[in-house]
Protein backbone atom coordinates (compact mmCIF):
# COMPACT_ATOMS: atom_id res chain seq x y z
CA UNK A 1 0.00 0.00 0.00
CA UNK A 2 1.27 3.43 -0.92
CA UNK A 3 -0.05 6.76 0.37
CA UNK A 4 -2.84 8.42 -1.60
CA UNK A 5 -3.08 5.54 -4.11
CA UNK A 6 -6.15 3.66 -2.96
CA UNK A 7 -8.79 2.94 -5.58
CA UNK A 8 -10.70 6.17 -6.23
CA UNK A 9 -8.64 8.16 -3.68
CA UNK A 10 -9.23 11.53 -5.35
CA UNK A 11 -12.91 10.88 -5.98
CA UNK A 12 -13.42 9.84 -2.35
CA UNK A 13 -11.49 12.84 -1.00
CA UNK A 14 -13.53 15.26 -3.13
CA UNK A 15 -16.80 13.64 -2.10
CA UNK A 16 -15.83 14.14 1.56
CA UNK A 17 -14.91 17.75 0.90
CA UNK A 18 -11.29 16.90 1.71
CA UNK A 19 -12.21 17.04 5.40
CA UNK A 20 -9.88 14.66 7.20
CA UNK A 21 -9.40 12.15 4.36
CA UNK A 22 -7.80 8.75 4.99
CA UNK A 23 -4.21 8.84 3.70
CA UNK A 24 -4.81 5.70 1.64
CA UNK A 25 -8.40 5.56 0.36
CA UNK A 26 -9.38 9.24 0.63
CA UNK A 27 -12.67 8.57 2.40
CA UNK A 28 -13.57 11.05 5.11
CA UNK A 29 -12.67 9.83 8.59
CA UNK A 30 -15.81 10.62 10.51
CA UNK A 31 -14.69 9.31 13.90
CA UNK A 32 -11.17 10.67 14.40
CA UNK A 33 -10.87 8.78 17.68
CA UNK A 34 -10.62 5.57 15.64
CA UNK A 35 -8.12 7.06 13.16
CA UNK A 36 -4.51 5.86 13.25
CA UNK A 37 -1.67 8.42 12.85
CA UNK A 38 0.84 7.54 10.14
CA UNK A 39 3.65 9.45 8.47
CA UNK A 40 4.16 9.97 4.75
CA UNK A 41 7.55 10.57 3.15
CA UNK A 42 9.52 10.00 -0.04
CA UNK A 43 7.32 12.50 -1.87
CA UNK A 44 4.18 10.57 -1.01
CA UNK A 45 5.53 7.15 -1.95
CA UNK A 46 5.98 5.59 1.48
CA UNK A 47 4.35 5.38 4.88
CA UNK A 48 6.46 5.44 8.06
CA UNK A 49 5.84 5.02 11.78
CA UNK A 50 5.14 8.45 13.30
CA UNK A 51 7.50 7.57 16.17
CA UNK A 52 10.29 8.05 13.61
CA UNK A 53 9.08 11.50 12.55
CA UNK A 54 12.20 13.53 13.36
CA UNK A 55 14.51 10.99 11.72
CA UNK A 56 12.38 10.82 8.57
CA UNK A 57 12.35 14.60 8.21
CA UNK A 58 16.15 14.73 8.49
CA UNK A 59 16.63 11.80 6.11
CA UNK A 60 14.55 13.25 3.27
CA UNK A 61 13.54 16.88 3.93
CA UNK A 62 12.36 17.43 0.34
CA UNK A 63 10.16 14.32 0.29
CA UNK A 64 8.92 14.55 3.88
CA UNK A 65 5.15 15.10 4.04
CA UNK A 66 4.56 14.74 7.79
CA UNK A 67 1.76 13.09 9.69
CA UNK A 68 -1.58 12.00 8.26
CA UNK A 69 -4.42 9.77 9.41
CA UNK A 70 -5.56 6.34 8.28
CA UNK A 71 -9.12 5.18 8.71
CA UNK A 72 -9.49 2.02 10.84
CA UNK A 73 -10.17 -0.29 7.86
CA UNK A 74 -7.15 0.90 5.88
CA UNK A 75 -4.99 0.75 9.02
CA UNK A 76 -5.88 -2.94 9.44
CA UNK A 77 -4.91 -3.65 5.82
CA UNK A 78 -1.62 -1.76 6.13
CA UNK A 79 -0.82 -3.47 9.43
CA UNK A 80 -1.27 -6.87 7.76
CA UNK A 81 1.08 -5.85 4.91
CA UNK A 82 3.66 -3.86 6.90
CA UNK A 83 3.43 -4.69 10.61
CA UNK A 84 6.75 -2.93 11.33
CA UNK A 85 4.97 0.42 10.84
CA UNK A 86 2.93 -0.23 13.96
CA UNK A 87 5.68 -1.50 16.28
H or E stretch at 70? strand 66-70
CB half-sphere exposure, 77, CA atoms < 13 A: 14
- Record the pTM: 0.84
pLDDT in tens, the chain (87 residues): 999 999 999 999 888 776 789 999 999 998 888 899 999 999 999 999 988 888 888 888 889 998 999 999 999 999 999 999 888
Check if the beta carbon of residue 42 is closer than 8 Å to that of residue 49: no
Q: What is the spatial distance between Cα 81 and Cα 16, in angstroms, rounded to a whole number?
A: 26
The DSSP line for 40-73 is EEGGGTEEE-GGGHHHHHHH-TTT--EEEEE-HH
Amino acid sequence: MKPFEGPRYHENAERGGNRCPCAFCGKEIKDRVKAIPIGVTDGGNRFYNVKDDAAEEKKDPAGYMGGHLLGPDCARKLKAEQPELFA
